[in-house]
């Protein structure tokens, strides 16, 4: 009893902080659960309709504004890259895709990556680990073109741009799509 | 595909607004109407010119794990190994490329541990070593495909 009566005010403060902390945690968990439901409801796409967000919100039995707020929050922290369309690049005539790989001095990788990313021929640009001696390339840039010649020309332009900062490079053309299902969260119910 | 279709593709590769009537908002900048834009997007999805319409989620930022993996598969075993690799649900894409390193696939899992387990399982199942090449840094990419 003495512990309870000796510093009643502190105890109350401590308790209210615990309650407050618990409610923040609970709120976070609820948001994470809601976000997961939103991902599951939208990962295969949005309805093509005048009010796409209202339709999804109704499916989830939540307010449309709440759905829009959560989508904006996921855009802000980059869980969503963007909302929009993905064209079939083959149907747009970009039938050749070459994964260009570069052996760039680690000291220059940020500069080289930033330069490559700015080129409108490059759709992805990443630094990845080397596996010497069989694999010494550390910078990957996906280059698309209407045919292999165009991809090769673009890669030559990149080689010129990088100059001596790239010790060597190669292009890996895709010859066959073996699988393409995209990324899916499993619905754990 | 006409000028409006191209305009829609080029605009919507960048951003689709989050608001009550997004197509109505877009209609102003694209000098079209809400109904026309909805019909165009639907028709381009139906014809396969567009493969997706909606949010693009970033698996890693969602707390999941993603990696590009490569294998040097002996030519005579290529189709067999492709079938073995593709049988794993964690394999999202898989491409054949003309290089000694001839099979390139993307693994996507909800946790890093699952990713590592899958790598081991694939190497074990196929008998071919797997080179794990997760991105260490992503560089900003500006434009997408110009239609």
Report pLDDT digits (tens) over B79-99. Answer: 999 999 999 999 989 999 999
Cβ B24–A144 below 8 Å, yes or no? no
With CB atoms and an 8 Å threshold, state whether A178 touches B54: no
Helices (H), B48-100: 78-86
Compute the average pLDDT of residues A56-65. Answer: 98
Q: Whole-model pTM?
A: 0.74
**Does the beta-carbon distance from A46 to B53 stay under 8 Å?**
yes
Is residue A90 over pLDDT 90? no
Residue A167, chain B, CB below 8 Å: the answer is no
What residues does B50 pair with on adjacent strands?
Answer: A87
* pLDDT tens sequence across B4-42: 999 999 999 888 999 999 999 999 999 999 999 999 999
Q: Which residues of A touch B108 (CB under 8 A)?
A: 183
User: How far apart, in whole angstroms, are the C-alpha atoms of residue B29 and residue B10?
Assistant: 13
CB proximity A188 to B under 8 Å: no
Task: Say yes or no: B98 contacts chain A, CB-CB below 8 A.
Answer: yes
Average pLDDT of chain B is: 93
Question: Mutating which of A179, A180, A181, A186 best tests the B interface, going by the most B Cβ atoms within 10 A?
Answer: A179
Mean pLDDT of A143-151: 92
- Helix (H, G, I), strand (E, B), or coil: what is residue B70? strand
Say if CB A183 and CB B104 are below 8 A apart: no
CA torsion angle for B82, B88, B92, B97 (degrees, to 10)? -20
A133 in contact with chain B, both atoms CB, cutoff 8 A: no
Position A21 confidence tier, pLDDT thresholds 50, 70, 90: low
pLDDT digits (tens, 9 = 90+) for B104-139: 999 989 889 999 999 999 999 999 999 999 999 999
Residue-level pLDDT at A1: 38
| Shortest alpha-carbon distance between residue B8 and chain A (Å) | 9
Touching A: B residues 50-69, CB under 8 Å: 50-59, 61-62, 64, 66, 68
Nearest to B58 among A78, A88, A99 (CB): A78
Enter the ipTM. Answer: 0.78
Mutate to test the interface with A, among B17, B141, B143 (most CBs of A within 10 A): B141
- Residue among B85, B86, B133 minimizing CB distance to A128: B133
Q: Look at B55 and A72 and tell me if their CB atoms are within 8 Å.
A: no
A110 pLDDT exceeds 60?
yes
Q: What pLDDT is stored for residue A28 in this prediction?
A: 77
- Would the pLDDT of A9 be above 50? no
Stated as kind and residue range, the H or E segment containing B115 is helix B112-126
Q: What is the pLDDT of residue A5?
A: 38
Contacts of B103 in chain A (CB under 8 A): 178
Q: Which of A40, B21, B1, B29 is nearest to B12 (CA)?
A: B29
pLDDT tens across A46-55, in order? 999 999 999 9
Arithmetic mean of pLDDT over chain A: 85
A26, pLDDT greater than 80: no
CA distance B108 to B114: 9
Phi, psi of B146 (to 5 degrees): -85, 120
User: Of the candidates B13, B86, B136, which has its C-beta nearest A178's C-beta?
Assistant: B86
Question: DSSP of chain A, one letter per residue?
Answer: -HHHHHSHHHHHHHHHHHHHHHHHHHHHHHHHHHHHHHHHHHTT----SSSHHHHHHHHHTS-HHHHHHHHHHHHHTTSEEEEEEEE-TTTTT--EEEEEEEEE-GGGHHHHHHHHHTSTTEEEEEE---BTTTB---EEEEEEESSHHHHHHHHHHHHHHHGGGEEEEEEEEEEEEEEE---------
Class of residue A40 by CB neighbours under 10 A (exposed 0-12, middle 13-18, buried 19+): middle
Q: B137 vs A181: CB contact, 8 Å cut-off?
A: no
Inform me whether the pLDDT recorded for B143 exceeds 50: yes
- Residue percentage of chain A with pLDDT more than 70: 84
> CB distance A83–B70 less than 8 Å?
no
pLDDT at A7 over 70: no
For residues A47, A49, A53, A56, the Cα torsion angle rounded to the nearest 10 degrees is: -40
Tokens encoding A142: 């996906």
pLDDT digits (tens, 9 = 90+) for A91-105: 888 888 899 999 999
Residues of A in contact with B69 (CB under 8 A): none
The per-residue pLDDT for A6 is 39
How many angstroms separate the Cα of B8 from the Cα of each of B16, B37, B72? Answer: 10, 8, 41
């Amino acid at each position: 009893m003495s512990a309870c009566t000796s510093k009643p005010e502190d105890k109350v403060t401590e308790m209210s902080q615990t309650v407050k902390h618990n409610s923040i945690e609970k709120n976070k968990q609820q948001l994470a659960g809601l976000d997961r439901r939103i991902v599951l409801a939208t990962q295969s796409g949005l309805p093509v309709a005048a009010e796409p967000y209202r339709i999804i919100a109704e499916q989830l039995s939540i307010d449309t504004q709440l759905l829009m707020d959560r989508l904006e929050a996921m855009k802000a922290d980059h869980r969503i890259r963007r909302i929009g369309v993905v064209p079939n690049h083959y149907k747009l005539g970009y039938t050749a895709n070459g994964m260009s790989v570069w052996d760039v001095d680690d000291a220059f990788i940020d500069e080289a990556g930033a330069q490559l990313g700015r080129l409108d021929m490059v759709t992805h640009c990443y630094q990845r680990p080397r596996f010497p001696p069989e694999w010494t390339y550390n910078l990957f840039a996906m280059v698309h073109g209407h045919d292999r010649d165009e991809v090769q020309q673009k890669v030559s332009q990149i080689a010129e741009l990088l100059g001596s900062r790239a010790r060597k490079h190669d292009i890996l053309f895709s010859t066959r799509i073996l699988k393409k299902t995209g990324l899916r969260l499993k619905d754990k119910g | 595909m006409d000028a409006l279709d191209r305009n829609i593709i080029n605009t919507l590769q960048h951003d689709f607004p989050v608001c009550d009537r997004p197509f109505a908002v877009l209609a102003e900048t694209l000098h079209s109407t809400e109904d026309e834009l909805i019909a165009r997007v639907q028709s381009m999805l139906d014809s396969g010119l567009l493969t997706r319409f909606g949010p693009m989620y970033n698996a890693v930022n969602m707390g999941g794990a993603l990696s590009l993996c490569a294998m040097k598969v002996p030519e005579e075993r290529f189709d067999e190994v492709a079938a073995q690799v593709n049988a794993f649900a964690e394999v999202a894409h898989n491409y054949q490329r003309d290089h000694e390193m001839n099979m390139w696939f993307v693994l996507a899992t909800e946790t890093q541990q699952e990713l590592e387990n899958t790598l081991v399982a694939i190497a074990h199942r196929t008998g071919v070593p797997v080179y794990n090449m997760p991105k260490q840094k992503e560089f900003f990419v500006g434009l997408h495909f110009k239609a």
